[in-house]
Structure 1
Amino acid sequence: MQVRTILASAAAAFLVATPALAEQGDWLIRARAIMVAPLEKSGPVEPSFPGAHVAVNNGFSPELDFTYMWTNHIGTELILGTTKHDVSGRGSLDGLGKLAHARVLPPTLTLQYHLLPAAHVRPYVGAGVNYSIFYSEKATQALDQAIGATKVGLSDSVGYALQAGLDVDITRKVFANIDFKYLDINTNARLTTGSTVNRVHVNLDPIVVGFGFGIRL
């Protein structure tokens, strides 16, 4: 009886210890809360405000991503999420505060390498490409009052993406996730006020930090 009890306990411990794994043919679906923190650098706002530049605040959003495992170690991940950001004036435009609002949708595809696919804690790294779409651009009331009714447009961007993350088992199917990305995003802003058009080039280059949970299918 004692031997049976020991064997049963060992079997139960083995089942509990069995990792969620990341195997060839699996789908890994994650839901994360993300913070998008631009490391922005902008040029002058020309021709009207050569002594000015702009800053972009952090954005927060839910995100959904899908990973397909081509082998036990190699997967591809598609990341979908959108964030809203405020654009503020700096330099000679500092006194106006917020100049505009915009949303960005940066679908990102990465090729990942999973270092320890059979472990309870599974780190991965990745690299790929993002295509960033800007939409819902709108000037603030402060900008309109200062220079007149202004239409804002931001050009879309294509750039590279770098990634590092960690999956940690909760059950065989469910795991926690932490993920870091660097996205190369550049845009040209166009501010049209009557017959006057001002332009500014902005390197956004955000760090994206995500925390969430995933499931293996």
Structure 2
Amino acid sequence: MKRILTTMSLLMAATAMTSMVTTAGAADLPAATPYTKAPVVEVWNPWMIRLRVLGVIPENGGSVHQVPGSDLKTSDQVVPELDISYFFTPNLAAELILGVTRHHVTGDGTIAGLDVGKAWLLPPTLTLQYHFTEFGAFKPYIGAGVNYTWFFSQSASGVGVTSSRLKDSAAPVVQFGFDYMIDKHWGWNVDVKKLWLRPDWEGTLAGGTPITGKVTLDPWLVGTGITYKF
């Protein structure tokens, strides 16, 4: 009996020592790090489109080479316009604008009252832009590039001028504007471009006399509309 009691005492002492060692070891372990869910990384999409109402405002200028003191006037126009932008980085983008417009050319100066004719223009314009991103929802940008204008469906007035033809022409362009983003997709855009477009022109007077000249369009393109960022 005495031997049994001794054995039980030894077992209880061993159990107590094991519990003390386990408790001390647990106290030395670092506290468990709480689980934190990884943030969602938004997928970068470089595409943006804009649909704008565009005012095309040419400068009144030009001349008929054979008539001293002649001048030319070109009508203003308001048209819808679509542009597509691709962002290489959040700051650097390329923009292509697409649209068509129709203008009426008349004489001024010594040929005031002469109805020269009408023409449709397809003026795709490509610019490289720098976008400033440090102003929150307000995102201004500047750009520069090139325009190439095709003239089509041209017609002379038939009164004084029996044929009229503007020649396709390239032009440099600069721009500035801004997007104000309402949310991550939708925004409002204001854009201004200046082109230096001066196509050559040739025609025929009613008497059969050929004439040539240059039309100084140099238009301002002033647009506003909606932005959608993919």
Aligned residues between the structures: 187
* Other structure's SS at 2:218 match: coil
CA–CA distance in structure 2, aligned partners of residues 174 and 195 of structure 1: 56
Select 1:178's aligned residue among 175, 190, 196: 190
CA–CA distance in structure 1, aligned partners of residues 44 and 164 of structure 2: 46
CA–CA distance in structure 1, aligned partners of residues 105 and 147 of structure 2: 21
CA contact (8 A) 1:32 1:64 kept: yes
Shift of 1:200: 1.1
Superposed counterparts of 1:63-74, under 5 Å: 63-74=81-92
Q: Which moved more, 1:86-95 or 1:54-63?
A: 86-95
* Other structure's SS at 2:212 match: strand
Matched, 1:83 2:101: yes
- The TM-score normalised by the length of structure 2 is 0.76
CA contact (8 A) 1:126 1:164 kept: yes
Shift of 1:46: 3.4
CA–CA distance in structure 1, aligned partners of residues 57 and 216 of structure 2: 12
Matched, 1:26 2:46: yes
Superposed counterparts of 1:30-179, under 5 Å: 30-43=50-63, 45-47=64-66, 49-96=67-114, 98-116=115-133, 119-140=136-157, 144-146=158-160, 150-179=162-191
**Alignment-derived partner of residue 214 in structure 2:** 201
CA contact (8 A) 2:83 2:96 kept: yes
Higher-Rg structure is 2
Read off the aligned partner of 2:82 and give its amino acid letter: L
Q: Deviation per CA, 1:2-24, whole angstroms, max 9, x where unpaired? A: xxxxxxxxxxxxxxxxxxxxx96
Read off the aligned partner of 1:80 and give its amino acid letter: L
CA contact (8 A) 2:79 2:100 kept: yes
Q: Which structure has more strand as a fraction of its residues?
A: 1
CA–CA distance in structure 2, aligned partners of residues 199 and 117 of structure 1: 51
Instruction: Report percent identity of matched pairs.
Output: 38
Alpha carbon RMSD of aligned pairs, Å? Answer: 1.8
- The TM-score normalised by the length of structure 1 is 0.80
**Alignment-derived partner of residue 4 in structure 1:** none
CA–CA distance in structure 1, aligned partners of residues 165 and 172 of structure 2: 23
Shift of 1:196: 2.1
Q: Deviation per CA, 1:40-90, whole angstroms, max 9, x where unpaired? A: 4212x232x333221111111100000000001000000111111111111
**Alignment-derived partner of residue 212 in structure 1:** 225
Structure 1 stretches lacking a partner, 5+ long: 1-22
Structure 2 stretches lacking a partner, 5+ long: 1-42
* Other structure's SS at 2:113 match: helix
CA contact (8 A) 2:121 2:152 kept: yes
Q: Deviation per CA, 1:133-153, whole angstroms, max 9, x where unpaired? A: 11111112xxx2335xx1111
